[in-house]
Amino acid sequence: MQAASPILMMLLMFGVFYFILIRPQVKKQREHEEMLKKLDKGEEVITRGGVIGKITGINGNVLVLEIQEKVRIRVPRSYIEGRWTGEQNAKGESVPARDAA
């Protein structure tokens, strides 16, 4: 029984790591891929480099972002971090835009 104890502990540790680290990361990656597939013209997005722009064109896996009036850049779809809804907090989560008063 003592010889099986280290193997049992290793299996238990792998199970804990799987449910705490690996499984949530895979779920988050799958949700991100679904979001990338659903992007359409007119949506505001932020890239991994921090560029915020509105999608004005889609050509396969390349998106055309308008970052300022008459200033457009081409970005691979995989470089899009997410939709932009306003400011981002310190954790990188979207915060709803504030109303101008």
31 plus 48 within the same structural domain:
no
Q: Which two tokens stand for residue 48?
A: 């991994």
Q: In angstroms, rounded to a whole number, what is the distance separating the alpha carbons of residues 41 and 18?
A: 38
Residue 94 predicted with pLDDT over 60: no
Residue 3's domain comprises: 1-38
Q: Do 84 and 90 touch, CB atoms closer than 8 A? A: no
Residue 42 predicted with pLDDT over 60: yes
49 plus 24 within the same structural domain:
no
Give mean pLDDT, residues 42-64.
94
The per-residue pLDDT for range 71-90, each reduced to its tens digit, is 999 999 999 999 998 865 54
**Of residues 94 and 101, which shows the higher confidence score?**
94
Kindly report the CATH number assigned to the domain that includes residue 43: 2.30.30
50 plus 75 within the same structural domain:
yes
Give mean pLDDT, residues 31-35.
93
Task: Tell me how many domains the chain contains.
Answer: 2
101 plus 58 within the same structural domain:
yes
75 plus 33 within the same structural domain:
no
